Amino acid sequence: MTKTHIKICGVKDIKIAKHAINCGASFLGFVFFKNSSRNISISKCAEILDKINGKVNTVAVTVNPTQSDLETYSKMKFTHIQLHGNESLNEVRKINEAYNLKIIKSFSISTKSDLDKIREYCPFIDHILLDSKQKKDMPGGTGQTFDWKIIKNFCPNKSFFLSGGLNTTNISEAINLKKTEYFDVSSGVENSEGIKDEKLISEFISKANKAVK
């Protein structure tokens, strides 16, 4: 592996967005989920997207989006949409056909059998995202890892993000699994829930880059 692709998820302000880009983040995720401390309004997000246009991949992070939601996101300056709910295969196929957005589909992992259904989604998505299984009311961002041994023999025909509980102390270990070049972090670069920390972002990306050398 020659390069890691880091996604900083749950960005809420332009200062953090610019800092993450300057540190070398490849993706920024903007969360549209009202129960999340990382939730951002459409107007605030549009403002940030205007200021960083073209500098980084931008991801609308959604949970079971309605058609109205999808119409809104498709008109904004997003490169990707992340489907982080329990969207069915048919729903994902329809989104793939209807919108000019690359799709990241999240899957909650706690046992090996959770990997079984991923393959059928692959024709309709651009990236897989493997996250730890969460509580029903909070689909992600709680800082819990899943057992990485589960993905020892996981070799999909799509690139995948490793997510769930990544932070500055375990990113090197995650990269040394040599399973993927894509890593998603949210709570692991926060100094309190929903509040990103510039130093932690710098440290996380720096450690990721050193680990691949």
* Domains of the chain from N-terminus onward: 5-211 (3.20.20.70)
Confidence check: pLDDT of 169 > 70:
yes
CB atoms within 10 A of CB 157: 8
β-strand partners of 7: 27, 184
| The pLDDT value given to residue 13 | 96
Element (H, E) at 203: helix 198-211
133 pLDDT tier (thresholds 50, 70, 90):
confident
| The pLDDT value given to residue 170 | 97
Catalytic, out of 9, 23, 45, 184 = 9
| The pLDDT value given to residue 2 | 62
**Residue 133 contacts residue 152 (beta carbons within 8 Å):** no
| The pLDDT value given to residue 139 | 56
Say whether 155 is catalytic: no
DSSP 173: H
Catalytic, out of 45, 69, 116, 131 = 131
Cα gap 31→37, rounded to integer Å? 9
| The pLDDT value given to residue 3 | 83
Confidence check: pLDDT of 143 > 90:
no
Say whether 131 is catalytic: yes
Q: What's the predicted TM-score (pTM) here?
A: 0.95
